């Protein structure tokens, strides 16, 4: 909870918000491709409306947002392995942008579906389902963990 340093904005109606991202980069050096993907959490833009009274369940809900981000960072790393086998360093950026755009779009849909299905963590059975499913995905993708 202490990692959530920001305060909600005037128009924010939610009880909390986790700001996470996938930082993906690609480069070619001497025509050798390298790609990275890192899940990040930004404490300076993440917040709880009422941190003193926030429940452990709400914190778990927010932490799962980061876990979902890590799932998609691993998917990105998995795709980068396949991408590196055929990467054309002369046309790197457009191809890399297409790859990341697709993963970012999937990740965004998953995050939105998570909030919708779990009702932002208020639907305990669906929250539990998402926690289990996300842990299974992390386990299935452990070869792409950092």
Q: Rounded to whole angstroms, how far apart are CA atoms 37 and 82?
A: 14
Radius of gyration of the CA atoms of the chain, in A: 17
Whether residue 72 contacts residue 134, with contact meaning beta carbons closer than 8 Å, is answered with no
Provide the residue ranges of all domains of the chain, joining segments of one domain with +: 16-144
* Cβ atoms within 10 Å of 47's Cβ, excluding its own: 21
Q: Rounded to whole angstroms, how far apart are CA atoms 44 and 52?
A: 18
The predicted-structure confidence for 57-67, as pLDDT tens digits, reads as follows 999 999 999 99
Name the pTM for this structure: 0.94
Predicted pLDDT of residue 85: 87
The predicted-structure confidence for 59-112, as pLDDT tens digits, reads as follows 999 999 999 999 999 999 999 999 988 888 888 889 999 999 999 999 999 999
- Which whole number is the average pLDDT over 27-53? 94
* Cβ atoms within 10 Å of 38's Cβ, excluding its own: 15
């Amino acid at each position: 909870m202490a990692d959530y340093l920001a305060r909600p904005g005037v128009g924010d109606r939610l009880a909390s918000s986790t700001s996470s991202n996938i930082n993906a980069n690609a480069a070619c050096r001497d025509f050798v491709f390298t790609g990275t993907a890192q899940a990040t959490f930004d404490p300076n833009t993440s917040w709880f409306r009422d941190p003193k009274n926030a429940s452990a369940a709400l914190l778990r809900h927010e932490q799962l947002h980061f876990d979902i981000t890590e799932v998609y960072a691993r998917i990105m790393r998995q795709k980068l392995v396949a991408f590196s086998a055929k990467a054309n360093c002369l046309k790197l950026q457009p191809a890399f942008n297409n790859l990341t755009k697709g993963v970012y779009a999937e990740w965004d849909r998953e995050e939105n579906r998570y909030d919708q299905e779990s009702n932002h963590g208020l639907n305990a059975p669906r929250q539990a389902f998402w926690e289990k499913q996300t842990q299974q995905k992390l386990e299935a993708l452990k070869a792409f963990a950092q």
